[in-house]
């Protein structure tokens, strides 16, 4: 398994993160470690910062 993390902006959708990353608070403490997930960039997700698919119903279109 590669240590390299891939971040891909999806057309009119989320930011897909492939790999394992640590979520760190303001003090530098690891609060969660997560593998392969999507981040919301449309603002409509009810599970922010993660994408829950709401961008489809919201009709999100990126510039
Ligand atoms: S990008 Fe998917 S819910 Fe916002």
Domains in the chain: boundaries: 6-48
Residue 21 Cβ contacting ligand 1 at under 6 Å: no
Task: Tell me which residues of the chain have a pLDDT lower than 50.
Answer: none
DSSP code of residue 50: B
Residue 12 · residue 22 · CB < 8 Å: no
pLDDT of res. 2: 63
Ligand 1 pocket test: which of 37, 54, 59 has the largest number of ligand atoms within 8 Å of its C-beta?
54
pTM of the model: 0.87
38 alpha carbon – ligand 1 mean position (Å) = 8
Beta strands in 3-63 (DSSP E): 6-9, 15-24, 30-39
Within 13 A of 49's CA, how many CA atoms are on the CB side? Answer: 8
Whether cis (ω within 30° of 0) applies to the bond prior to 49 is yes
pLDDT of res. 63: 80
The SS3 assignment for 14 reads: coil
Residue 17 Cβ contacting ligand 1 at under 6 Å: no
47 alpha carbon – ligand 1 mean position (Å) = 9
pLDDT of res. 56: 96
């Amino acid at each position: 398994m590669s240590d390299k993390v891939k971040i891909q902006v999806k057309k009119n959708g989320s930011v897909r993160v492939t790999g394992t990353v640590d979520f760190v608070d303001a003090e530098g403490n690891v609060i969660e470690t997560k593998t392969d997930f999507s981040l919301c960039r449309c603002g409509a997700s009810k599970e922010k910062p993660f994408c829950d698919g709401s961008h489809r119903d919201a009709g999100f279109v990126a510039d």
